[in-house]
């Protein structure tokens, strides 16, 4: 996934938001930004917390570090994609405070390395001082003083682009690995699917496209967010293996990190293509 294409897609999706939607997104991002800054400040002001977080980070394999960043991407993409496909958006995954600290420190270490490749050649015991100086210098630049709509959106796009590139390179999501792989729908989303009654004279087919048998009138069936109906036993079996509607390929949320990034990214690509 090319950097320019990624940035263009995200910017086009942002441009497609209405003023109230953009205001809502901006307030959400400002709140998250303040929360993340408080966590980073806590890390840098506490030798014990910094050491424990760094130890936790060092204990993780590259794969698990990628998963941490992937979950961070999902949360970030979710806030934007929610405005375009609210019916199919489960709440973003909850991140443990320990994992949030770890991913924030990991991203900060990556920024330090990008700014000065030799900075982290210092002994590990000096890393808190090195990272703290970089963070303070960054915060004291003109662009880092205060928060406003433009700055928080620019920071959001830059962070999301960097993280998407990393996950694309290291993960197995469709834009960076095996395309078209099937993943099961999220269990929480499946449990929350509505049950509707088949009524006579109603619009739409009365046949379940999975089993090809008629859906009896006055019986409850499952309705997906795309409004297609199926026998419960058929669709539950289907969604246990794939997160797409059998009729229109509409994607439901999934618990698989790479599959969920793929789903959310496809929403933004669709919006940016129409813009």
Note the pLDDT tens digit of each residue in 117-156: 899 999 999 999 999 999 988 776 544 445 556 788 988 9
**pLDDT score for 176:** 42
pLDDT at residue 177 greater than cutoff 50: no
pLDDT band at 170 (very low <50, low <70, confident <90, very high): confident
Average confidence score pLDDT of the chain: 87
pLDDT tens digits, one per residue of 206-262? 789 999 999 988 889 999 999 999 999 999 999 999 999 999 999 999 999 999 999
**Adjacent-strand bridge partners of 177:** none
> pLDDT per residue over 57-112, tens digit each?
999 999 999 999 999 999 999 999 988 887 766 666 677 899 999 999 999 999 99
DSSP string, 161-212: HHHHHHHHHHS--TTTS-TT---PPPHHHHHT--EEE--TT-SS-SB-TTT-
Return the CATH architecture of domain 187-239: 2-Layer Sandwich (3.30)
Residue scoring higher pLDDT (198 or 148)? 198
- Domain residue ranges in the chain: 3-179+257-274, 187-239
């Amino acid at each position: 996934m090319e950097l320019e294409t990624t940035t263009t897609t995200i910017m086009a999706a942002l441009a497609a938001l209405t003023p109230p939607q953009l205001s809502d997104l901006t307030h959400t991002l400002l709140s998250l930004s303040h929360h993340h800054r408080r966590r980073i400040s806590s890390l840098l002001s506490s030798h014990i917390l910094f050491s424990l977080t760094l130890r936790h980070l060092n204990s993780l394999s590259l794969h698990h570090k990628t998963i941490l960043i992937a979950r961070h991407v999902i949360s970030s993409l979710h806030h934007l994609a929610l405005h375009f496909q609210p019916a199919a958006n489960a709440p973003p995954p909850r991140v443990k405070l320990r994992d949030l600290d770890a991913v924030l420190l990991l991203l900060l270490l990556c920024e330090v390395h990008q700014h000065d490749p030799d900075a982290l050649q210092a002994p590990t015991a000096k890393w808190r001082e090195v990272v703290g100086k970089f963070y303070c210098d960054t915060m004291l630049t003109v662009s880092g003083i205060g928060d406003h709509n433009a700055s928080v959106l620019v920071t959001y796009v830059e962070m999301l682009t960097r993280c998407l590139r990393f996950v694309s390179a290291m993960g197995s999501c469709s834009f960076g690995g095996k395309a078209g792989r099937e993943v099961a729908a999220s269990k929480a989303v499946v449990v929350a699917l509505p049950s509707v009654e088949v009524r006579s004279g109603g619009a739409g087919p009365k046949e379940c496209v999975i089993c090809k048998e008629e859906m009896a009138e006055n019986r409850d069936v499952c309705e997906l967010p795309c409004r297609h109906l199926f026998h419960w036993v058929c669709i539950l079996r289907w969604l246990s293996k794939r997160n797409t509607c059998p009729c229109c390929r509409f994607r439901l949320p999934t618990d698989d990190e790479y599959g969920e990034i793929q789903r959310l990214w496809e929403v933004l690509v669709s919006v940016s293509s129409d813009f």
